[in-house]
Amino acid sequence: MAYLFTSESVSEGHPDKIADQISDALLDNFLAFDPESKVACETLVTTGQVVLAGEVKSNTYLDVQNIAREVINKIGYTKGEYQFSGDSCGVISLIHEQSQDINQGVDRGSKEEQGAGDQGMMFGYATKETDNYMPLALDISHKILQVLAELRREESQIGYLRPDAKAQVTIEYSDENIPQRIDTIVVSTQHDEFDSDQKMLDKIKEDIIAILIPKVKELLPTNIQALFNDHIKYHINPTGKFVIGGPHGDAGLTGRKIIVDTYGGKGAHGGGAFSGKDPSKVDRSAAYAARHAAKNLVAAGVADEILVQVSYAIGVVEPTSIFVDTYGTSNVNFSDGEIAEKTAKLFDMRPSAIEDRLKLRNPIYLETAAYGHMGKQPQTLTKVFESPYNGRVEKEVELFTWEKLNMQDEVKREFGI
């Protein structure tokens, strides 16, 4: 029997995502001026206020208030009528030094002996469903909001948009787990005041269906475009008016969108958030490493769908376990347990090895903090950081290294493919 599966995404102007982006901007600045910084930074945003908290061990000092304001303005919260603006909000910093009890388990005599920054389990997932090996419903949800943000910034076709938005996509699958059609699309977007509520609803629905959706389809391959049909159920701003939004409508916190950040409910999640954490925190680095392993295994043809779990004990170098589930889609003559053994051989999951392999001690994290940490195109760019205390730094960095398909040949040799 056919079934439905749903994933959601949220925009860069969603309160929780504002918090994530501020936390990762602070992390990037610490790493830009001191690559060995240890950072765990949390952010709270609400009406007219930003609160920064957490633990940092670093040789640099930052103007954290100014960094937070720059992020808020770049997102688009620049008007007093939003009740939250980068130029006028209060920014309170409660950041303090990292606990020595934690640090002694992480910093060792040599980098190779670096222990995990916490206990826990992390998951990586990949599927042949899309070209970027991501679940389809999540991929489309992200694209809807990325295009919506582009239209908001252009102000040419849909000039009434405000920064806060959410999207949700429901797809019908066959018994063979093949996408058949898009069943439902939900878009809720913040907007300016209209003369009448009915005029507002009609205009927003018309623009989403006639302007936004065609632009989203253009980004998708032909086989995915074919899933769009005349019978899609659209719920556009289903609660009606959405003028009050952003941190004025709801408080936002770092780490509250962990499913949006990963696989949209597919695979599994260990529970640890990413943003604001330096790579010694395996919540983040090992989740990236597990995605890198899963993606290369699927791309090499080991299976059509793979989940990789890795787990750690705080302060211990070697992972406590590596687990693989191919969901019955394996294309090789090995059990899932044997695939897990080979995965451990191919992908060194010690914390320091992950940092080195994926180049994680670089300021690469702000770009991860909206529209998902997984599934984006690897790229190299130059980032500039300026500080009244540290001067100006230019760094060429590689973004999304965990998305590289650079281990396929090794995987194929190991599995005889």
Angle between helical axes of 336-346 and 408-415 (0-180°, round to 10): 130
Annotated binding residues for K(+), written as ranges, equal 42
pLDDT at 241: 85
Half-sphere exposure of 20 (CA within 13 A, CB side): 26
pLDDT at 23: 98
Distance CA 139, CA 128 (A): 13
Tokens, residue 323 = 């687990």
**Residues 281-287, mean pLDDT to the nearest whole number:** 96
Catalytic residue among 5, 8, 12, 17: 17
pLDDT at 289: 98
Q: What is the sign, positive or negative, of the torsion defined by CA atoms of 374, 379, 380, 381?
A: negative
Indicate yes or no: pTM above 0.75: yes
**Residues 11-39, mean pLDDT to the nearest whole number:** 97
Annotated binding residues, written as ranges, equal 14, 16, 42, 55, 98, 164-166, 241-242, 250, 256-257, 273, 277, 281
Q: Are strands 90-97 and 49-57 parallel, antiparallel or unpaired?
A: parallel
State how far the alpha carbon of 226 is from the alpha carbons of 92, 210, 211, 218, 325, in Å. Answer: 50, 17, 18, 11, 30
What is the pLDDT confidence band of residue 120, given thresholds at 50, 70 and 90? very high
From 16-25, 49-58, 210-219, 242-251, the region with the lowest mean pLDDT: 242-251
152 is catalytic: no
As beta bridge partners, residue 325 has 307
Annotated binding residues for Mg(2+), written as ranges, equal 16
Catalytic residue among 283, 305, 325, 367: 283
What is the pLDDT confidence band of residue 112, given thresholds at 50, 70 and 90? low
242 is catalytic: yes
Tokens, residue 288 = 């990236």
Do 247 and 47 contact (CB within 8 A), yes or no?
yes
20 is catalytic: no
235 is catalytic: no
Catalytic residue among 8, 12, 14, 290: 14
Annotated binding residues for L-methionine, written as ranges, equal 55, 98, 250, 281
Catalytic residue among 57, 142, 256, 266: 256
pLDDT at 99: 54
| Domains in the chain: ranges and CATH | 3-8+136-244 (3.30.300.10), 120-128+282-415 (3.30.300.10)
Has residue 115 got a pLDDT over 80?
Answer: no
24 is catalytic: no
pLDDT digits (tens, 9 = 90+) for 144-183: 999 999 999 987 778 899 999 999 999 999 999 999 999 9
Catalytic residue among 107, 172, 228, 251: 251
What is the pLDDT confidence band of residue 248, given thresholds at 50, 70 and 90? very high
283 is catalytic: yes
pLDDT digits (tens, 9 = 90+) for 187-246: 999 998 887 788 888 999 999 999 999 999 999 999 999 999 999 999 999 988 888 888
**Residues 257-277, mean pLDDT to the nearest whole number:** 97
pLDDT digits (tens, 9 = 90+) for 325-338: 999 999 999 999 99
Distance CA 97, CA 288 (A): 26
What is the pLDDT confidence band of residue 104, given thresholds at 50, 70 and 90? low
**Residues 113-124, mean pLDDT to the nearest whole number:** 85
129 is catalytic: no
Distance CA 286, CA 259 (A): 16
Distance CA 343, CA 293 (A): 7
Catalytic residue among 57, 143, 248, 257: 257
pLDDT digits (tens, 9 = 90+) for 340-394: 999 999 999 999 999 999 999 999 999 999 999 999 999 999 999 998 888 899 9
Has residue 108 got a pLDDT over 70?
Answer: no
36 is catalytic: no
